[in-house]
Chains A and B, each alone.
Chain A
Amino acid sequence: MTQSSGSIRFILNDREIALTTVQPTATLLDFLRLEKRMTGTKEGCAEGDCGACTVLVGRLSAGELVYESVNACIRFTGSLNATHVVTVEHLAAKDGTLHPVQQAMVDYHGSQCGFCTPGFVMSLYGLWLSKDNPGRADIEKALQGNLCRCTGYEPIVRAAEAVAKARPDAVFDPIVKARNEIITKLTAIRSPQTIRMTSDDATLIVPGTAADLAEVLADHPQATIVAGSTDVGLWVTKQMRSLNPVIFINGLEDLQFIREMEDGIVIGAGVSYSAAFLAISARYPAFGRMLDRLGGEQVRNMGTIGGNVANGSPIGDTPPPLIALGASVNLRSKTGQRTVPLEAYFIEYGRQDRKPGEFVESIFVPHLPEDDHFAVYKISKRRDEDISALCGAFRLALNNDNTVASARIAFGGMAGTPKRASNVEKTLIGNLWSEETVRIAQAAFEADYQPLTDWRATAAYRMLTAKNLLLRFFLETSGEPSELVRFAAGEK
């Protein structure tokens, strides 16, 4: 039985698709492979970590047509309204002539078993579309979400460098060629009307405005709100959970804003990590550098800071810097709005201060005073695209006599929630900012945290490293090199 108002409409390569029955948990990858029998896009892990299923999704953003790589395995079909989905099948010309990105992968022996290759091609294609003359750091960043087990990546990076250097005329490119046509089509599809669809008793809702979202949530307070689906996707693919109803907010323009205020910035809950990157790295460079290592490119294109906060995970990477910066959460419901300091939003493991019917509308991040020291350190087994063993953020203001005026230190991975190191802060405040003070303050970590042992790290390592990161912060503020850097600033 299907009840629907509206349909999920998008463009798949060069075809328009209109779906009137979509299960809320149906994925784009299954749609491509099972329904369309388009098997170029592969399933490697079904959790957004390997990139074999990478496709590009184009969307209108402030009138511009923007293409981003995403993981089709955890992208829900219901979230695709008014987008252009581009798969590997779309790249080569009709006569079989390969796209330059594909040809470079052939010429430089970038494939061995070939299973990850369509995903790499799509990630490199996304880079090719979005960046002129990328350097090695850009290439590695664009490939953080793609695993290859055969090549050791060297030939893939060589292929990417070759394409970057010899950037051919783009007139043959299927996206470049059809850009205006696609903009026209997507504009036509886009509708502020709420889409509602029930199939097999499961309902998906795509609200057209924030007010609609508040309305829908009032009716369905237990609904699952899905923005980037980088976590909820796994509830479906791995835990086989049935979610009903599901509200997709990734296309909700009302939540896609970054507002510059006098005293800070407000980031709409629907803003992806990628979209927030420029604003954040300009104001809080250390936070920006950490964002470069959060997930892979696909996850950063999908996931949102709002979701990272709302979700309440103790190992989310944005809460520690946000707490250190003194951020607050703006919650909204049909009946009104309220603001909560972020550190108070996390009540305990698995429990946040979000009432039924409320949703996270935005995050307010205060400006960092010019003289404040601010650092973010993400520690993980693998440098990139790994969940943190611990993540620490430090913010410090010094008096003229070099004593500590104020300190805000927050850690993820050290407790059941992202949490401030209030004892450490207390030990620092009022004392001379010196290595000796740091040594004394290190002991206070034991009063703040009792970390756990798991597969990411032992409790002992977490505690020792947290202490050492305070020393790293001190050394950084005093100019002693204390952090490994793969590419120096400006290094190509």
Chain B
Amino acid sequence: MDNSTFEERKTIAGSMHSNLRHDSAHKHVSGTADYIDDIPEPAGTLHGALGMTDRAHAEIVSMDLSEVEAYPGVVCILTARDMPHSNDISPSHLDDEPVLAEGLVQFHGQPTFAVIAETRDIARRAARKAKIIYRDLRHHTDILDALENGAELVTKPLTLSRGDAEAELEISPRRLTGRMRIGGQEHFYLESHIAMAIPGEDDEITVWSSTQHPSEVQHMVGHVLGVPSNAVTVQVRRMGGGFGGKETQGNQFAALAAVAAKKLKRAVKFRPDRDEDMTATGKRHDFLVDYDVGFDEDGRIHAVKANYAARCGYSSDLSGPVTDRALFHADSSYFYPHVKLTSQPLKTHTVSNTAYRGFGGPQGMVGGERIIEEIAYALGKDPLEIRKLNFYGEKGSGRDLTPYHQQVEDNIIQRIVSELEESADYQARRNAVIDFNRTSRIIRKGIALTPVKFGISFTMTAFNQAGALVHVYQDGSIHLNHGGTEMGQGLYTKVAQVLADSFQVDISNVKITATTTGKVPNTSATAASSGSDLNGMAAYDAARQIKERLVDFAAERWQTERENITFVPNHVKIGDELVPFPAFIKQAYFARVQLSAAGFYKTPKIHWDRNTGRGTPFYYFAYGASVSEVSIDTLTGEYMVDRVDVLHDVGKSLNPAIDIGQVEGAFVQGMGWLTTEELWWDAKGRLRTHAPSTYKIPLASDRPKIFNVKLAEWAENAEMTIGRSKAVGEPPFMLPISVLEALSMAVASVADYRECPRLDTPATPERILMAVERLRTGRA
């Protein structure tokens, strides 16, 4: 009996919905958080480096690797023919992604061979000694070139259609068409890709991989080696950032490390240099959006037709679902009475583009918001007015159906936007901006409010499942494992909170352990913002099972009804008796209660039929909005983000501190995508912005000078998610569309806001200046 403690402690430390710091924060700041390159290497570990082609598209006539092989310290060379079972690691199973190029290279930088050497330095130096003779083929790296050259599609396109867009466009009071280029984006996780493979007995192998998708690495390694999945164990404690860039792109490094490790019976590590990582791994897709919109004099949309052409790179990778998700978000937060959306996933001779935070959604939404902006300029109105006119209505309003025929049931965008409009003092500030622009010749300002509505769930229904493994040891300490991976988003912390909350023990009793395919099998990628929704529920389920057994045990031991047994802070309350949790567990052990459980969760309700373009692909939507105010210099195109206000919906937050961090971080990352981050290929098809010296992500001094971020505290998920929370990883990435539109308004001021500046992205200082010139000339 320990009533005194109970009286003092009404709550546990680290419950759900509390502001808990990241579980590894103290290790991050002291340099003691181990990333894969920090793990002590087994004796005799070898190091690999990629041999990368300098042609964008060519047949390999001959490969002379004798100098590579002869380089002192080189242990062996791997080519396509050295892959024991298969040379393919296509995540879409279209057999279009070789580990190492064979006969044909399809992008500048594609790996053609790998060197294994005593040190990483030797491997990198040796890799440069290859003599490869090519026969060049025509290449196209750009979307327009691809279209002109009749490029093939890397995967099947999608059409979403409702009503009769063509007919409605013809009879709409107003109609306009336009085209927008949306640039790609490098993930720039601070930790580059890395894999370390340690060979085991028989066919066994263990791979430490910086991956968001250990199960897929497991499958790919097994596939390349020709061994079953049960021989391959893939582990990852944490990544130094992922953002989608480690969903499929780690496969090649893991596969090569594994092949070399099995061949040489030594541990092998692959850690590409930053430039090699940026050259040889995929990025966010660039898009070319052609839109055609019919609307009336009020600004109400009657019909939208749009085509989303994407630079997919040389293989399919995830381009199918990425371009699908672009279409799923081409409506942004707006009801299109008649709509036809098509995707065009184009093959280009560039690295195969891949997942990146938002997964096509941001590009879809940027296109949708451009349509709104166009209508506003065409009618001479504030874009916010057009937005409000076109928002989805309440459920059952007749304006609640998406282009994919899912009913929007949880719409809160009107409330989010009106609260933000007021708290950010939007109207007064907009007037002030317009006043400022009247008298300022060189410096101009702009302001914009844009909304976000983002669909949550993998559109591949099968991926919406998760597992967790929970052990309670005799001393009452708890071991937590689940299928999600930690890349900085605080997933491990949140799931540990779920467990602490379930058992009502302080979170210090929960040990978070590295993700491994050996503990929780058949996991999905930690992606699509789904990590805490899925794994939190799976952990909750595991705890539920153990608790049920414990309650059964207590009911029998204490001879009482089950409902008299409750889990209270660090104790179990049985009738009037309080038993400290560890003592209770000890008794349960001696009573031979199973104190371990595998939890499982699958998202209910969802289904999607790609062939008909109909279904309910999303369990729910996450909402948000932002107001951005910017200044531009019309002589140079330079700009600054003066102030940003955000109101974002994460449902009932599992951890507001972590969620605010996600919102702030996503905002700045999204802002970088839309402003300074530019991917630039030269005429030979070589990516020239392949390092932080040339590819410019935001700095501390680029973040909004005033940055007010709030969570909608009243929000609660309408669906039965863990703690009624909502996913947070991706949705806020689209908030900074308001930065782009504010820049656009500042540009538009030079022509009295009569013309939509049609800024392409990234809106670099150059694009701003050139748009200013274009508008000025147009006026002259």
Q: Give the distance in Å from the alpha carbon of A465 to the alpha carbon of B773 in the complex.
A: 11
Which of the residues B239, B636, B692, B766 comes within 8 Å of A47, measured between beta carbons?
B692
Q: Give the distance in Å from the alpha carbon of A224 to the alpha carbon of B662 in the complex.
A: 46
Which of the residues B30, B669, B764 comes within 8 Å of A149, measured between beta carbons?
B669
Contact B274 A46 (CB under 8 A): yes
Q: Give the distance in Å from the alpha carbon of A7 to the alpha carbon of B636 in the complex.
A: 51
Task: Indicate if B696 sits at the interface (CB-CB under 8 A).
Answer: yes
Residue of B whose beta carbon sits closest to that of A102:
B29
Contact B29 A121 (CB under 8 A): yes
Contact A381 B661 (CB under 8 A): no
- B:645-704 near A, CB below 8 Å: 657-658, 660-661, 664-669, 676, 678, 680, 682, 688-689, 691-694, 696-703
Task: Indicate if A309 sits at the interface (CB-CB under 8 A).
Answer: no
Which of the residues B24, B124, B699, B705 comes within 8 Å of A382, measured between beta carbons?
B699
Query: Within 8 Å CB of A383, what residues of B?
Result: 638, 640, 699, 701-702
Contact B191 A464 (CB under 8 A): no
Query: If the complex has contacts A114-B24, A472-B635, are A149 and B35 also in contact, measured as CB distance less than 8 A?
Result: no
- A:362-393 near B, CB below 8 Å: 377, 379, 381-387, 389
Contact A37 B190 (CB under 8 A): no
Contact A465 B31 (CB under 8 A): no
Which of the residues B34, B190, B490 comes within 8 Å of A147, measured between beta carbons?
B190
Residue of B whose beta carbon sits closest to that of A49:
B692
Q: Which of B33, B38, B635 has the most CB of A within 10 A?
A: B635
What 1/0 mask marks residues of chain A from 74 to 116 whose CB sits below 8 Å from any chain B CB? 0000000000000111011000001000110111011111111
Query: If the complex has contacts A40-B30, A484-B638, are A112 and B668 also in contact, measured as CB distance less than 8 A?
Result: no
Q: Give the distance in Å from the alpha carbon of A121 to the alpha carbon of B31 in the complex.
A: 9
- B:621-648 near A, CB below 8 Å: 631-633, 635-640
Q: Give the distance in Å from the alpha carbon of A458 to the alpha carbon of B678 in the complex.
A: 13
Query: Within 8 Å CB of A482, what residues of B?
Result: 441-443, 633, 635
Residue of A whose beta carbon sits closest to that of B766:
A461
Residue of B whose beta carbon sits closest to that of A141:
B701
Q: How many residues of B contact A (CB 8 A)?
A: 90
Contact A153 B239 (CB under 8 A): no
Rounded to whole Å, the gap between the CB of B698 and the closest CB of chain A is: 7
- Mostly helix, strand, loop or mixed at chain B's interface? loop
Residue of B whose beta carbon sits closest to that of A116:
B190
Q: Give the distance in Å from the alpha carbon of A45 to the alpha carbon of B27 in the complex.
A: 22
Query: Within 8 Å CB of B664, what residues of A?
Result: 151-152, 154-155
Query: If the complex has contacts A47-B691, A238-B275, are A92 and B191 also in contact, measured as CB distance less than 8 A?
Result: no
Query: Within 8 Å CB of A105, what residues of B?
Result: 25, 28-29
Query: Within 8 Å CB of A114, what residues of B?
Result: 22, 24-25, 27-28, 33, 238, 240, 488
Q: Give the distance in Å from the alpha carbon of A116 to the alpha carbon of B191 in the complex.
A: 8
Tier of interface size on chain A: 35 or more
Task: Indicate if A188 sits at the interface (CB-CB under 8 A).
Answer: no
Query: Within 8 Å CB of B766, what residues of A?
Result: 381, 389, 457-458, 461
- A:284-303 near B, CB below 8 Å: none
Which of the residues A115, A147, A483 comes within 8 Å of B633, measured between beta carbons?
A483
Contact A109 B699 (CB under 8 A): no
Query: Within 8 Å CB of B665, what residues of A?
Result: 112, 149-152
- A:141-166 near B, CB below 8 Å: 141, 143-144, 146-157
Which of the residues B124, B275, B488, B702 comes within 8 Å of A113, measured between beta carbons?
B488
What 1/0 mask marks residues of chain A from 421 to 449 whose CB sits below 8 Å from any chain B CB? 00000000000000000000000000000
Contact B764 A240 (CB under 8 A): no
For chains A and B in complex, what number of residue pairs have CB atoms within 8 angstroms?
A: 266
Rounded to whole Å, the gap between the CB of B243 and the closest CB of chain A is: 7
Task: Indicate if B128 sits at the interface (CB-CB under 8 A).
Answer: yes
Contact B668 A153 (CB under 8 A): yes
Residue of A whose beta carbon sits closest to that of B271:
A43
- A:209-229 near B, CB below 8 Å: none
Q: Give the distance in Å from the alpha carbon of A37 to the alpha carbon of B31 in the complex.
A: 12
Query: Within 8 Å CB of A465, what residues of B?
Result: 635-637, 769
What 1/0 mask marks residues of chain B from 474 to 488 whose CB sits below 8 Å from any chain A CB? 000000000000011
Query: Within 8 Å CB of B243, what residues of A?
Result: 149
Task: Indicate if B558 sits at the interface (CB-CB under 8 A).
Answer: no
Contact A152 B633 (CB under 8 A): no
Contact A49 B693 (CB under 8 A): yes
Task: Indicate if A469 sits at the interface (CB-CB under 8 A).
Answer: yes
Query: Within 8 Å CB of A107, what residues of B?
Result: 21
- B:692-725 near A, CB below 8 Å: 692-694, 696-703, 705, 707, 709
Rounded to whole Å, the gap between the CB of B277 and the closest CB of chain A is: 10
Task: Indicate if A454 sits at the interface (CB-CB under 8 A).
Answer: yes
Query: Within 8 Å CB of B769, what residues of A?
Result: 461, 464-465, 468
Contact A39 B699 (CB under 8 A): no
- B:167-217 near A, CB below 8 Å: 187-192
Task: Indicate if A173 sits at the interface (CB-CB under 8 A).
Answer: no
Query: Within 8 Å CB of A88, what residues of B?
Result: 29-31
Q: Which of A37, A39, A157, A237 has the most CB of B within 10 A?
A: A39
Contact A44 B190 (CB under 8 A): yes
Query: Within 8 Å CB of B21, what residues of A?
Result: 106-107, 109
Query: If the complex has contacts A42-B35, A469-B635, are A113 and B701 also in contact, measured as CB distance less than 8 A?
Result: no
Task: Indicate if B765 sits at the interface (CB-CB under 8 A).
Answer: yes
Query: If the complex has contacts A155-B661, A455-B694, are A140 and B488 also in contact, measured as CB distance less than 8 A?
Result: no
Q: Give the distance in Å from the alpha carbon of A40 to the alpha carbon of B30 in the complex.
A: 7
Contact B633 A113 (CB under 8 A): no
Task: Indicate if A414 sits at the interface (CB-CB under 8 A).
Answer: no
Contact B190 A111 (CB under 8 A): no
- A:24-45 near B, CB below 8 Å: 30, 33, 37, 39-45
Q: Which of A147, A456, A458, A484 has the most CB of B within 10 A?
A: A484
Which of the residues A33, A109, A458 comes within 8 Å of B657, measured between beta carbons?
A109
Query: Within 8 Å CB of B765, what residues of A?
Result: 379, 381
Contact A92 B30 (CB under 8 A): yes
Q: Give the distance in Å from the alpha carbon of A384 to the alpha carbon of B705 in the complex.
A: 15
Query: If the complex has contacts A114-B240, A382-B696, A481-B442, are A147 and B22 also in contact, measured as CB distance less than 8 A?
Result: no
Query: If the complex has contacts A40-B32, A147-B699, are A484 and B635 also in contact, measured as CB distance less than 8 A?
Result: no
Task: Indicate if B37 sits at the interface (CB-CB under 8 A).
Answer: yes
Task: Indicate if B40 sits at the interface (CB-CB under 8 A).
Answer: yes
Task: Indicate if A486 sits at the interface (CB-CB under 8 A).
Answer: yes
Rounded to whole Å, the gap between the CB of A488 and the closest CB of chain B is: 11
Residue of B whose beta carbon sits closest to that of A386:
B696
What 1/0 mask marks residues of chain B from 453 to 472 whose CB sits below 8 Å from any chain A CB? 00000000000000000000
Residue of B whose beta carbon sits closest to that of A465:
B636
Contact A117 B29 (CB under 8 A): yes
Contact A484 B443 (CB under 8 A): yes
Task: Indicate if A342 sits at the interface (CB-CB under 8 A).
Answer: no
Q: Give the distance in Å from the alpha carbon of A39 to the alpha carbon of B21 in the complex.
A: 23
Q: Give the distance in Å from the alpha carbon of A382 to the alpha carbon of B695 in the complex.
A: 9
Q: Give the distance in Å from the alpha carbon of A125 to the alpha carbon of B669 in the complex.
A: 25
Rounded to whole Å, the gap between the CB of A108 and the closest CB of chain B is: 9
Query: Within 8 Å CB of B35, what residues of A?
Result: 42, 115
Rounded to whole Å, the gap between the CB of A209 and the closest CB of chain B is: 33
Q: Give the distance in Å from the alpha carbon of A44 to the alpha carbon of B277 in the complex.
A: 11
Contact B699 A143 (CB under 8 A): yes
Which of the residues B192, B442, B632, B700 comes within 8 Å of A140, measured between beta carbons?
B700
Q: Give the distance in Å from the alpha carbon of A115 to the alpha carbon of B188 in the complex.
A: 12
Query: Within 8 Å CB of A64, what residues of B?
Result: none
Beyond A106-B26, A471-B635, A484-B633, 20 additional contacts (C-beta under 8 Å) are A40-B30, A42-B191, A45-B693, A46-B274, A89-B31, A103-B29, A111-B488, A112-B22, A114-B27, A114-B28, A115-B189, A147-B190, A150-B241, A157-B703, A238-B275, A383-B699, A455-B689, A464-B769, A469-B636, A486-B701
7 contacts between A and B (CB under 8 A): A87-B31, A98-B26, A113-B191, A118-B29, A146-B700, A148-B700, A237-B273
4 A-B pairs closest in CB distance: A40-B31, A113-B488, A115-B240, A114-B28
